Chains A and B, each alone.
Chain A
């Protein structure tokens, strides 16, 4: 990419003096060392009394029809009135805005056109805004993204082709309001293909060593000691952050080819977008005019002026210049080879002072720059390793395999489909995915959360290991096997269906499930500590067998039906089930209580075994009917039962060692049983 402006506020100064940092500073935005996204500083625009608060960028390249950029913004207090975060005017005075409403809804607009709204920005959170402004045709446009998610283009038609103003670009709150905003990591380009610039940052590199100087006796430190690359290098005076004039390098003689050189701190970043050099200077007096220079020397052996000319200022002035792109482009070595040079005086009256130098380097984050793609498709394999954010992609499809390692977040994907296998390892969250389908195998290891998926279907095998949360998927369907080991909670699932088998081992909670159906077997195994609750399921169907071992609670289930066998061993309570019906056998061993069941029907046998301590209560059941045999051993109480229907004859209800059967109402009778009683 080819940036024309890089600003991470790493010099720690917000000033218009000299025009090298900013061309205007309105209502005192500040450099903030406390809240910053990268490096040592951000820019804070903070007003408790209504006012605009912004900087205007230094003079930008002329005759440009595209302005491409990226900045990060953080909102700590919403604006009291709608305001701009970024404003860019055309030469014809048409204003382009990236703005924010009082409800923190970010938006894009061209004055006279329709405002396009984006997401609501959460407080105290950094957001990346990418934009591309265009005014070179009859229709002006703003393409923009928020955190890599493409937003609706803002347009204004029926315009005369124009170019962008070089002097009116504003970053900050452009309208009068109370607010608290932070900005960081700004990069601007005039190349349309650079959009979107994507995630990254800006690092400030200060002088930290001597360079290769070409000294004369007239280049001195502020103590009038000659600079020497070995014993008195110039980086000692030029490294102040924030920029200040506490010490400086000066030149006290004409030496137009002599200079003091400094090397800058190294960067370890590998994806380099570009660099901009910054200078603070003054002179011994404000007049007359003098002449000297500060330059950047690069790995190609080429010098670029930061500033050459009259330095006769009585207070600190600031200049900046984009560093030329080295032959072969920017890389880590090219950044680390940069040197600063000060000197070259052709007129040293008054004596020029160089106070501070810095390189601000714009970099991209490795593996983070797959964002906003409408389609990523690969006939073979797609691998993303160490990616932090893959956001806003509408479709990722692969005929082969998709492997993602170390994903921190995948947002807003509408569809992920893989003809082969999809493997995600170490994934932290996948949010808002409408569909994940795989003809082969889906494996998610160590995944923490899967939110809001409307459909997850796998023709083969779905394996989730170590999954902590799967919330509100409307449908999880597996033609093959569905296995979740170590799953802690499955919440709000409307439907879980598995063709052959579904296994949940060590499951603690499954809440709000409307339908669980298994053509094969559904097994839940675990200890009483591991498998604790199944609540609010409206229907649980098992075409085969339903086995719950060590289950503690099954609450609010409206219907449990099993064509095969249903066994609950060690169950503590089954509460509020409206219907429990079983074509085969229902076996409850060691159950402590079954409360509020309106109907328990067993076509086969219903057997409850236990002793007084563990098998305590069956109360509030309106109807208990057994086509086969109902046996209760060691029952302590059967209460508030409307009817116990052992008929027709040949069926048996046995209550042994029962303490009480109270208020059971069959044909208007009340039956109390204090000891063993058998009906035939």
Chain B
């Protein structure tokens, strides 16, 4: 299981724009669905790095890089990408809170 993830202060999942549940197998699919729903990319703020990402570790114990997806109403949802070049796991906000090997294979634009 990931360590220090999901953040206790993260917004409730899923976003109300989506409905009652949303689970994805990888970061690319997640971003595709949320961008189609009007979300935008963002880099985490310093405060968000502190609150969400600095202490988080993936299920293999790797450090993570923070990503933010911002809803049309301005709610910022954190996701974390494992820094191991092979594992490349993405930590998400629904159980089991990670998507597994190579699931963060997506270029954040």
**Residues of A bordering B, CB below 8 Å:** 15-19, 22-28, 51-53, 56, 58, 165, 167-168, 176, 286-289, 309-310, 312-315, 317
Contacts and interface: CB of A to CB of B under 8 A. Distances in A.
A25 B26 contact: no
A308 to B, nearest CB: 11
B101 A309 contact: yes
Interface string B69-109: 00000000000000000110000000110011101000000
Given A16-B23, A315-B96, A289 B101 contact: yes
A27 B19 contact: yes
Interface residues of B, number: 27
Interface secondary structure of B, over-half rule? loop
A314 B59 contact: yes
A58 B29 CA distance: 9
A22 B61 CA distance: 27
A18 B19 contact: no
Contacts of B23: 15-17, 24-25
Interface secondary structure of A, over-half rule? loop
B1 interface: yes
Given A286-B59, A289-B60, A289-B101, A23 B21 contact: no
Contacts of A287: 59-61
B11 to A, nearest CB: 18
Given A287-B60, A310-B101, A24 B21 contact: no
B20 A51 contact: yes
A131 B87 CA distance: 38
Given A167-B28, A167-B29, A167-B32, A26 B96 contact: no
Contacts of B26: 19, 23, 167
Nearest to B96: A315
Nearest to B101: A310
B25 A22 contact: yes
Contacts of A28: 20-21
Given A24-B30, A27-B19, A313 B100 contact: yes
Contacts of A52: 18-19
Of listed B19, B60, B99, residue having the most chain A CB within 10 A: B19
B96 A314 contact: yes
30 contacts: A15-B23, A16-B23, A16-B24, A17-B96, A18-B100, A19-B29, A19-B103, A22-B25, A23-B26, A24-B23, A24-B30, A24-B33, A25-B22, A26-B21, A26-B22, A27-B22, A28-B21, A51-B19, A51-B20, A52-B19, A56-B29, A168-B29, A168-B33, A168-B36, A287-B60, A288-B61, A289-B87, A289-B101, A313-B96, A313-B100
